Amino acid sequence: MRSNHNITPTRRAYTIILALCLFITCIYAECYNGCTGKGICFGDVCKCVDGYTGPDCGTPLPRVSIYDCTSCWQFSVGSPEYISGPSVRLPDSQLVSANLKGTLKTWIGNGDAELFSVGTSSSDYLVEVVVSMNSKEYNISGEFDSCGAWISRAIPDESSDVIRALYHAEADCNYDIGQTYKSMAYAESRDGGKTWVRPNYPNNQVLTFNGPRLTGKPSGLGDGSMVRFTDPADGREYYYLYYAKISGDAFISVARSPVSAGGLPGTWSKYNSGWSARPNGIGGPESPIKNINDATIYVHAPSGEILTVGNDYSGGHGGGGAQMSVSKDGLNFRYLPEPLYISSDWRVYGWGNAPAQEAMVGYTSLLGETGGYLVGNTFWMYYLYLKPGQGMNARYFIRRKVTMTYNPDATNEPANRLALSTYVHRTTGEQYETREWVPPTYYKLKKVMGYLMTRMHTESFGVISCLNNGDYYVARIGQDCTSENDTQLEALGFIYAFRQPNTIAVYQCEAPAGGKRPGPDRFLSPDPQCEDRAPSQTVPFGFLLKGPSLVDDLGKADVVVPRASTWSYASSTTSLVSNFTLAGFNDSTWAVGTAPFASGYPVSAPSRFINRDHYFRRQFRLDPSRTAVKALLTLGSDDRSTAWVNGQMVDDDRTVRFWANQAEVWNRRVWLDVSVLRQGAGGQANVIAVHVPNGDSWAYFDAQLTVFYSDNTDVACPANCGPHGNCVDGACVCDPQWGALDCSVPLCTYGPNVIPSTVINEGDMWKYSSTGVFNPDSVVSWVLPMYNDAAWDQAATPIGAGYTNAWKQRTTLPYNPGTTNGKDPYSYMFRKTVTLNVPDGYTIASGVMGISSDDYHLAYVNGFLVDGSLHPYTSRQARRWNSVVNINPEMLFDGNNVISVRVPNWYTSEWLYFNLQLNVTYQAIKCLDTCPPATSCLAERRNCGRIYNGCEYVSCGTCGSGRVCSDQGQCQCTPQTSCAARNFTCGTMYDGCLNVNCGACLLGHACSREGRCVCVPSVTCASLNKTCGEVFDGCKLIDCGVCSTPTTSASIPVPTSTSSSSPDTSKPPLNLQGSSG
């Protein structure tokens, strides 16, 4: 019988049923094969993790690699959610989870193992520890785990009830001076993780360091985590254990044990520039695994690849925050381009100390929907959190939801986005925008305003959180938050300075003091009218990224054709089936089967694919009560496919040769124009048709169609305001130089006349300075126009070192080598101020910058990055030395402009070079003197409130005293009272505007003048000719009177019985009532 430890209310009834089964015979379903560890059991149905399908989740779907294209994946990180705290114990290690035949359990190590939660999915969690499993019987003085045993990963056997776990052990500890000795050891549980056994203790260690224990500092190895992974080189499945070597030159390494050996002590081999032929986990040498920040490891089920997540505290690739890496073979890793979030790590400031102005995080862990070491494309990120200035005795446990999206067309877009949320003070109403968790004592979450970037991109700038006399506000790094009373808090992220696709304009507003606010309230808003709380703004502060999916941006999603659907299908060895794409085609003679259709793949194959063309058709209907705004068709096919909707081709892959790249051809996401769909009254049928050709090879087909409807809870904007406006309360607010209700009409036209101008040329003078070793993640003020460079030296370009006269080197700089660690280049900085004189009637139409540099460069225009990478260590090729950059003309101003360039030089190189040319083109422009309104209050039949007329907000009037403006712009009377306020339950009453009906009375009741239902008598004593006794009149008993007392009465003597004989019954009984005459 399956046990269930979930104590949440929704599961208690099921627990009671299990208890009853001890006394009676019960039949209840288990999931097939326990979902094979790739899913969660709901009733008797498996819910599979991304990447797997089938009744037991044992069938892998065609995979799309992360490693092959790290820039093809985008990660969206949601708002933080509170789990537990503040506590001195939770958390003290990574979150550990296991999928026990459909039940998800999680543990946290705190010197021993604590069962943290039990549930049916990662959405279930408890805020307190369920069971504490004390392990003090093992804490023997002098043993390797005498200071504690922290569980680091637990993996259940697929064929038994054993949970195999590895734990981080510490001994010889003196934490006051930072001393401890670490190793890794084996434990197992047979009761669902409630208790743990350490077989053959104390000989249960699996990994140790071959070196001395150090005094006053940590040493050894540990902090590991384990996954099951198949080595692509030999096809065998192993337990892979990634761990941190602490002693000497610290790094991450890996060991492994065959799954067939159970991960037991004595079966582990370390990686040392190759796998050891014999187990050498105890004291053997190891070598580092590169491009990995931490030993917290997972397997991404949809790709089958290893993912790592760790806080980069070394100032290296991640520069602070949760950085991810990916590997195909478990040895060679690649960094993902950007961190999941930006934050300080506890190892920067030391254990137990959070900086006064910044929050601190640690122990970043991932938890997939089905738990264990597998994660899908949606997962939860858990971490320790300390508020600014707090110590480790006040730890919080926080999580965020992360969504991965595969988008091969987004290689130049921001890879990651981090939610910026708006909180409102419960008393003063002040708004507070931050990416961090805010305790709910004083603030409540209002909404997610948009998403920040976690790395600087071209045309973007950094933003920080500032505090001024109790007012939290968002400011630009290096330019704001500089007044006397300002306190600079944490760096939040990056936003665009100019409109980009899929962005939201936000305005910096300042509401004056008033009410319960002692001072001004500065806040961000997508409304240029600042939500009527502050003076209007005309220029956006910046542009946030939109939400992670169209569900957030466009409304509710509906999967109208899910995966594993039923399709009509036919096969042919000749030509295309005629007209099969049309809705009227008769497919009644075709076979019917359930996807996926396959040959060669380990799934059921209802038809044989080899050497055939295959045709699929399926009908679907849209919700007639809603409006579809977008549709997404996801196709999985082998070899390739062509798709039609209602006879119109929506995806054509016939031109791709059959050996083309799988990730690009066999798995595709196609956005459909809703014009191809039939929607509206009647719920007309739509037809999707797909042609899948195949040669003599494996074959596969499945598809999913998702339709996005406009969210009926929000008022939609015309055309969603296109690329030139924001949707605010159902109206489009247009960018400058754009108008109309949907922001589609340009207010300026360009003439044919253009004037080219070279504003920076070779030989011009530049200011320059050297920073020495430069931190590539630093956001510095020297690129901003207001920076004072008066003390810098001057030189004419080309400027360099080591080059000959053939390169026309005018100025030679001294050679200054960088550090010898191979990471930190030596940097020169260059600045130049140029003045643009735009002729009357013209505008800046374009700017083109040509840059030559050695080793590489980062170029800024008026403080905005326009070319270069903040992490170019792997991009020092010659292609980075010469570049032509198109500059957004919005970056250039009529008047002074500052061009700033940083040129790093590698520490081993004696060669350095810099040269730059800037060309600007002016174009004739004519703008309307005034914006032509697209509508008016009169046209909209509004007599109050305001409307956006396509150019600006205009007032339609105000209502008099006692009247309010409705959503339709009509003045309405404001009721002064109500039936409830006056305790009226019936009749009518005047509420200050009109007579309102307060209700009716039941039959036999009438409404009084006070609005109360009172009973109405239906009979009386008189109507019944009653003069005495009681009568029910329909409401209550009433007294009809009493009879009068008689005037005389007979005195009848009663004879005394003198015998005991029976009375004489031959005579009638005496009448004992008074005589009437």
pLDDT range class, residue 734, cuts 50, 70, 90: confident
Pick the more confident residue, 282 or 250. Answer: 282
Residue 832 CB: number of other CB atoms within 10 A?
21
Kindly tell me if the per-residue pLDDT of 1046 is higher than 90.
no
Q: What is the mean pLDDT of residues 1019-1042?
A: 84
DSSP 74-99: EEEE---EEEEEEESSS-SS-EEEEE
Between residues 888 and 61, which one has the greater pLDDT?
A: 888
Cis peptide before 723 (omega within 30 of 0): no
Mean pLDDT in residue range 341-364: 64
pLDDT digits (tens, 9 = 90+) for 909-958: 677 788 999 999 999 888 877 778 888 888 888 888 888 787 777 889 88
Report the distance separating Cα 660 and Cα 254, nearest Å. Answer: 35
Percentage of the chain modeled with pLDDT above 70: 76
Please check whether residue 744 is in contact with residue 904, taking contact to mean a CB–CB distance below 8 angstroms: no
**Position 28 pLDDT exceeds 50:** no
User: How many Cβ atoms sit within 10 Å of the Cβ of residue 651?
Assistant: 17
If one compares 268 and 732, the residue with the highest pLDDT of the two is 268
Q: Which residue has the tokens 């196709």?
A: 635
| Number of Cβ within a 10 Å radius of residue 782 | 18
Does residue 53 surpass a pLDDT of 50?
Answer: yes
Range of weakest confidence among 2-6, 60-64, 218-222:
2-6
In this prediction, residue 725 carries a pLDDT of: 80
Residue 258 has pLDDT above 60, yes or no: yes
Identify the residue with better confidence: 983 or 70.
Answer: 70
pLDDT confidence of residue 514: 75
- How far apart are the C-alpha atoms of 425 and 427, rounded to whole Å? 6
Q: Quick: pLDDT tens for 73-90.
A: 889 998 888 777 777 666
Lowest mean pLDDT among 230-244, 517-531, 885-899: 517-531
C-alpha span between 82 and 608 (Å, rounded):
52
Query: Residue 1056: which residues within 8 A CB-CB, separation 6 or more?
Result: none
Alpha carbon distance 375, 307 (integer Å): 9
- Which residues are within 8 A (CB) of 1011 and not within 5 positions of it... i.e. 6 or more apart? 979, 982, 983, 984, 985, 986, 987, 989, 998
Name the nearest CA neighbour of 349 among 308, 382, 392, 309.
Answer: 392
Q: What phi and psi values does residue 844 have, to the nearest 5 degrees? A: -75, 115
More reliable by pLDDT, 234 or 552: 234
What is the tens place of the pLDDT at every residue in 428-479? 888 889 988 888 777 877 888 899 998 888 888 888 888 888 888 888 876 6
DSSP 839: P
Express as a percent the part of the chain with pLDDT over 90: 16
Binning pLDDT at 50, 70 and 90, where does residue 668 land? Answer: low
pLDDT at 863: 83
Q: Is the pLDDT of residue 1063 over 90?
A: no
Which pLDDT does position 875 carry in this prediction? 46
How does pLDDT run across 522-538, given as a tens digit for each residue? 899 888 888 878 887 87
Residues whose CB falls within 8 Å of the CB of residue 1053, separated by 6 or more in sequence, listed in order = none
Distance CA 1008, CA 1004 (A): 13
- pLDDT at position 138 is 57
pLDDT (mean) for 485-489: 80
Amino acid at the residue 570: A
Q: Tell me which residue of 985, 988, 1025, 1023 sits closest to 1001, measured CA to CA.
A: 985
Residues 443 and 424 sit within 8 Å (Cβ to Cβ): yes
Of 395, 350, 391, 361, residue with least CA distance to 90:
395
Closest to 206 in 3D by CA, of 231, 187, 180, 229 = 187
Q: What is the pLDDT of residue 26?
A: 25
**In the predicted structure, residue 413 carries a pLDDT above the cut 70:** yes
Q: Kindly tell me the number of DSSP H helices and DSSP E strands found in the chain.
A: 4, 73
Q: How far is it, in rounded angstroms, from Cα 1063 to Cα 278?
A: 124
Task: Please give the residue that has the higher pLDDT: either 730 or 1030.
Answer: 1030
789-800 as b/e, with b when 16 or more CB fall inside 10 Å?
A: beebeebebbbb
Mean pLDDT of the chain: 76
Quick check: 774 pLDDT over 70? Answer: no
Q: In the prediction, which pLDDT does 532 show? A: 79
CA dihedral sign, ordered 561, 562, 563, 564: negative
Lowest mean pLDDT segment, chosen from 478-482, 804-808, 880-884: 804-808
Given a cut of 60, whether residue 778 has pLDDT beyond it is no
State mean pLDDT over 747-758.
86
Q: What average pLDDT does the segment 129-150 reach? A: 63
Q: Are strands 895-905 and 858-861 parallel, antiparallel or unpaired?
A: antiparallel
Mean pLDDT on 14-27: 24
Task: Measure Cα distances from 302 to 51, 61, 374 in Å.
Answer: 4, 7, 9
Does the pLDDT of residue 976 top 90, yes or no? Answer: no
* 416-425 vs 73-77, strand pairing mode: parallel
pLDDT in tens, 593-602: 888 787 766 5
pLDDT digit string (tens) for 809-849?
Answer: 677 776 555 444 444 456 788 999 999 999 988 989 999 99
Amino acid 995: pLDDT:
85
Q: What is d(CA 455, CA 453) in angstroms, rounded to the nearest whole number? A: 6
**pLDDT of amino acid 759:** 92
Q: List, edge to edge, every strand of the sheet that includes 765-773.
A: 793-796, 765-773, 826-836, 895-905, 858-861, 864-867
Question: Pick the residue with more confidence: 1065 or 55?
Answer: 55
Return the minimum-mean-pLDDT range out of 67-71, 314-318, 848-852: 314-318
Question: Is 161 or 605 the better-scoring residue by pLDDT?
Answer: 161
What pLDDT score was predicted for residue 265? Answer: 96
pLDDT tens by residue, 612-638: 778 899 998 887 767 787 787 878 777
Cβ density class 521-535: b for 16+ within 10 Å, e for less: bbbbbbbbbbeebbe
Q: Residue 318 pLDDT > 60, yes or no?
A: no
Query: Phi, psi at residue 154, to the nearest 5°?
Result: -130, 130
Q: What pLDDT score does 600 carry?
A: 67
282-298 burial, b if ≥16 CB within 10 A, otherwise e? Answer: bebebeebebbbbbbbb
Give the separation between CA 710 and CA 719, rounded to whole angstroms.
11
Question: Is 285 a residue whose pLDDT tops 70?
Answer: yes
Give residue 849's pLDDT: 92
Assign 3-state DSSP to the chain and report helix, strand, coil percentages, each to 5: 5, 45, 50
Amino acid 194 reads K
Rounded to an integer, the average pLDDT of 664-671 is: 60
Question: Where does the pLDDT of residue 659 fall: very low under 50, low under 70, confident under 90, or very high at 90 and above?
Answer: very low
Q: How many Cβ atoms are within 10 Å of 787's Cβ, its own excluded? A: 15
Q: How confident is the model at residue 355 (pLDDT cuts 50, 70, 90)?
A: low
Q: What is the pLDDT of residue 919?
A: 94
